[in-house]
Structure 1
Amino acid sequence: MYIYIVLVLFVTLMPFTTPFVSLNHSFMETANFIPFRDLRLHYYGAIREILLNIIMMIPFGFLYPIINKKGVIKTVITTLYFSLNIEFFQLLSVWWGSIVIRRFDVTDLITNTFGGLIGYLMFVGLKRVVTKKIKGITYNTYS
């Protein structure tokens, strides 16, 4: 799970430069608070971005209940919180003057959270198989 989280943070936050105040951009100029605006305005790559955000968080929704033994509500809320932190740091990248400006996008919050929900539903569907594998690994390790 740690490797997965590090990879997600790397993909969503890098490159991240040293802090200095940027005079070129303000926080709100780069933020998008309108859900699915890019899709509704038919921006190139909007569907691809939505699908990638969903896919990116499916492993989180799958792994979180295995590690922490939590239900759907806790998994979805934790996915939302993880995504909100990513978006917050992307918003800060504007202030810090990052070379590549990351943008806060409410659509990302929605699609990432949905991806976590799909991951959880996949976990529920495969719960018996996953539980048997984990118990088998645990028993074989201590035998």
Structure 2
Amino acid sequence: MGFLANKKKSKAFLVVFGVYLALLVWCILFKFSLRPEEIPHLRGINLIPYAASVVVNGKVQISEIIENMLVFLPFGLCISAFYPDSEIQNRILLASGLSLFFEVTQYIFAIGASDITDVIDNTLGAVIGILLYLGMKKIWKEKTGKIITILGAVLEVLFLALLFFTFAANGMF
């Protein structure tokens, strides 16, 4: 495992990855809700890629596609750092499986619309993260894991600060 063989670095990475996964669950399943009653209760399913789910007022919402890719890009980076010797298709399959798990969970518990478009976009985001990891590995070699850990920690702190100020400004505490 190289980078993760160092226990101190490994713990830091696992904390960053764990916080990312917690934020991912909070984002996708709980829609950043602070109280259970804020979680929307709806059940829908779309099995036609890029159909109604990304079309609003007759226009394709590119922002939703990009957001879905961006939210899973770190997963591709982290899973590549965690399993650097695994086959790329296995990493992609893991990302697709996680995304599918989220969509099925939303459907079962009626906490969101399940959409094949989300699975596709999330998987594409993870693929971009995997490719980014491969590019970083060529440039920074053994420092790649450390860079991902530091960058992830900084971005998580900034994101949590932004959420805090957004919630505070809207009187949500």
- Tell me the equivalent position of 2:115: 105
**2:128 alignment partner, one of 118, 128, 135:** 118
* CA 47–123 in structure 1, closer or farther in 2 if over 3 Å, else same: same
1:105/1:126 Cα in 2 relative to 1: closer, same or farther (>3 Å)? same
Structure 2: stretches of 5+ with no match in the other structure = 1-16, 148-173
Map 1:1-143 → 2, pairs under 5 A: 1-14=17-30, 15=33, 17=36, 30-38=44-52, 39=54, 43=58, 46-69=61-84, 70-94=86-110, 101-133=111-143
Name the % identity.
26
Q: With the length of structure 1 as denominator, give the TM-score of the two structures.
A: 0.73
Aligned CA distance change for structure 1 residues 60 and 37 (closer, same or farther; 3 Å): same
Distance of 1:62 and 1:136 partners within structure 2? 12
Tell me how far apart the structure 1 counterparts of residues 113 and 145 of structure 2 sit (CA, whole Å): 42
Runs of 4+ in structure 1 deviating by more than 2 angstroms, as ranges, are 15-18, 38-46, 128-132, 134-137
* Structure 1 gaps, min length 5: 95-100, 138-143
Name the count of aligned residue pairs: 123
- When residues 92 and 45 of structure 1 are mapped into structure 2, their CA distance, relative to the original with a 3 A threshold, is farther
Alpha-carbon distance in 1 for matches of 2:139, 2:105: 37
- Residues 82-128 of structure 1, C-alpha deviations (whole Å, 9 max, x = no match): 1011101111122xxxxxx4110000000000111110000111113
> More relative contact order in 1 or in 2 (CA 8 Å, sep 6+)?
1
Question: In structure 2, the residue corresponding to 1:83 is in which secondary structure?
Answer: helix
**Higher relative strand content:** 2
Per the alignment, do residues 50 and 43 of structure 1 end up closer, same or farther by CA in structure 2, a change over 3 Å counting?
Answer: farther
Q: Could you tell me how far apart the structure 2 residues matched to 1:136 and 1:107 are?
A: 33
